[in-house]
Every structure is written in structure tokens, then in C-alpha cells.
Amino acid sequence: MGLKPTVTSLIVCGACGRMGRAILEAAAADPAVEVTGLVDLPAHAGTSLAFRDRTIRVQADLPRSPKGVVVDFTAPVATLGLVHEAAVHGHAMVIGTTGLAEAQLAEIEHAARRIAIVRAANMSVGMNVLLALVRRAARVLGDEADVEIIEAHHHGKRDAPSGSALQLAEAVNEARGRKSGEGWVHGRQGMPGERRRGEVGIHAVRGGDIAGDHTVLFALGGERIELVHRAHSREAFARGAVRAARFAATAGPGLYPMTRVLGLEA
Ligand code: NAD
């Protein structure tokens, strides 16, 4: 008899949302995962969602068992409660929710002493490769290049700029040996004056059903480089989230970035 393959149990939080539904689809296509719970606001409790050849009812509370991986794509106000509950019940976690404040991030770091947590503002493979390329370009070009980050998302997105745009800006600053946030300019209007050396401009475009575009522009004298990532649909994030859940299921306590899940780190 062969060994039974390990199946990862997912508890999808924000199940009725855009990402929640995309994750259900991605999970249904992966034989190595099972969905054992769906969670959303009380207003959605009782709704039945299709998963493979059956339906699962949405609950308002996180189930205690079986132990699984809580996949959170909700809203910043919800994430911390889920993190605390997951830590108490011993569930691992994947956090995709963006717009989290510094204090919330610190609490997530604290909870990661007890459980495995993968957190990434963008779970797509392509975006994580873009991050690595941007780091490389910023290191090579230094302050010679004027860096501008332009992101575009659908009109329902609540936070701006996107978590991924901030991560890209962070990658540029790290590569140039600057502190987080140093020199970042969000949008420009009025009379901002001449562009300063080392500045990173960040711009948010909102409209229609754009799943998520990010352009990082390195403008030099006489030439420019544009590194672009476009997500065609939420499938790219959902597949990444399922991959992150499989990683978290077997990882020890700790806070892991998506680059670690994808083996992009040295
Ligand atoms: P959405 O508004 O379509 O869905 C959010 C869902 O969460 C809704 O069904 C809502 O009812 C539910 N929810 C809100 N509060 C809750 C609570 N307290 N408990 C349980 N459920 C709750 O939003 P979306 O487009 O699916 O995005 C969700 C989050 O994921 C956002 O923060 C978005 O920026 C982020 N996101 C991340 C990635 C990534 O790759 N990391 C990709 C896309 C979106």
C-alpha cells in the first residue's frame, strides 16, 4: 500500500467576496487541498457555495476543528480577530488582506511565534518575480534613475496605493539603502516643485474591473526602463494563496513572505 497523500484543509475567510470565490475555484482544481470551512460576515452566514460536487455553508465564526489553514482575504478590521483565533486553535494562516496598519502588522508578527503565517500583499508568482527584478534594477541604477510606481485596480478596491505598490517601493528603498517610506511621494498636485533625487513617486489609478496592474518606471537621461506586471484575473492571486496554504500547513511557527513559499529567496 502506498502512503496516503497529505491533503491540506483550508478555511476560507471572506468566502463570499471576490477573492474568496476565486480561492474556492483554485482549491477545487487542486487535489492536494480540501475546503473544510467557509467564513464571512453574519449577513452571509447560511449561504451555500459550490465546492467540487457539493455545497458548503458559510459560517460567521471560525471553526475550531479540523486543524487547517485559515486563508484570510477580508478587510483589515477582520484580520486581527482571525489571527488571534487561529493562534488559539492552532490553525496556520495565509493573510492576503491589504491595508493593514503598523500596529496590526506587529500583532501578526507576535502571533507568528505560535503559528505559521504567510503574509503577502500580492500572492501571484509573477508579482514576486517582479519584486526580485525591481530590487536588482534599483541596486544597479541607484539614484541615477527616477523611480515612479503606477498601479491600477478595479473601482471596488478600498485601499490606495495597493499593498503591492508599497512593497515595490519598499524593495526600491531597501536596494538603495533607505528607510521604509523615505522619499515616497503619493500622487502629485499643485506646485510640488522639481523632483528630488532619490524620490519614489507612487500613483493609484482606479477603474472598471482591472484585476491589478503595476508598472515600475526607472527614468534616466535619454532612456527609461519599464517593468510591468499585469494580473489578467484573480486566478493568479488565488492559485498563489492555495500554494501558500500548502506551504503553511507543514511549516513551523514563523512569518513567511511569498518569496519564501516560491523559493525565490537565496
Ligand atoms: P471583497 O470586498 O470582494 O470581499 C471581502 C469579503 O470579506 C466580503 O465577502 C466580506 O463580507 C468579508 N468580510 C468582511 N469583514 C469580515 C469579517 N469580519 N469576517 C468575515 N468576513 C468578512 O474584497 P476582495 O476583492 O475579495 O479583497 C479582499 C482583500 O484581499 C482586500 O484587502 C484586497 O486588497 C486583498 N487582495 C489581496 C490579494 C493578494 O494577492 N494578497 C489579491 C487581491 C485582493
pLDDT at position 266 is: 47
Beta carbons within 10 angstroms of residue 217's beta carbon: 16
75 alpha carbon – ligand 1 mean position (Å): 5
3 Cβ partners below 8 Å, 6+ apart? Answer: none
- Measured CA to CA, the distance from residue 61 to residue 56 in angstroms comes to 14
* Residue 42 to residues 78, 87, 139, 210, Cα–Cα distance (Å): 12, 22, 48, 29
**Burial class of residue 220 (count of CB atoms within 10 Å of its CB; 0-12, 13-18, 19+):** exposed
Q: For the chain (length 266 residues), average pLDDT per consecutive 10?
A: 76 98 97 97 97 97 94 96 96 96 96 97 93 96 98 96 96 97 97 96 98 97 98 94 97 95 79
Residues lining ligand 1, CB < 6 A?
A: 13-14, 16-20, 39-41, 44, 73-75, 78, 96-99, 120-123, 237
- C-alpha cell, 159: 485601499
Number of H helices, E strands in the chain: 7, 13
- Measured CA to CA, the distance from residue 266 to residue 259 in angstroms comes to 10
Catalytic residue among 44, 91, 153, 229: 153
Beta carbons within 10 angstroms of residue 35's beta carbon: 22
What amino acid occupies position 132? A
Which residue in 57, 63, 58, 56 sits closest to 34, CA to CA?
Answer: 56
pLDDT at position 3 is: 60
Which phi and psi (to 5°) does residue 112 adopt? -70, -5
Query: Which residue CA neighbors atom 34 of ligand 1 most closely?
Result: 98
Q: In this predicted model, what pLDDT tens digit does every residue of 72-85 receive, in sequence order?
A: 999 999 999 999 99
218 alpha carbon – ligand 1 mean position (Å): 32
pLDDT at position 14 is: 98
The residue count of the chain comes to: 266
| Catalytic residue flag (residue 67) | no
- Measured CA to CA, the distance from residue 201 to residue 195 in angstroms comes to 9
Q: Are 14 and 72 in contact (CB under 8 A)?
A: yes
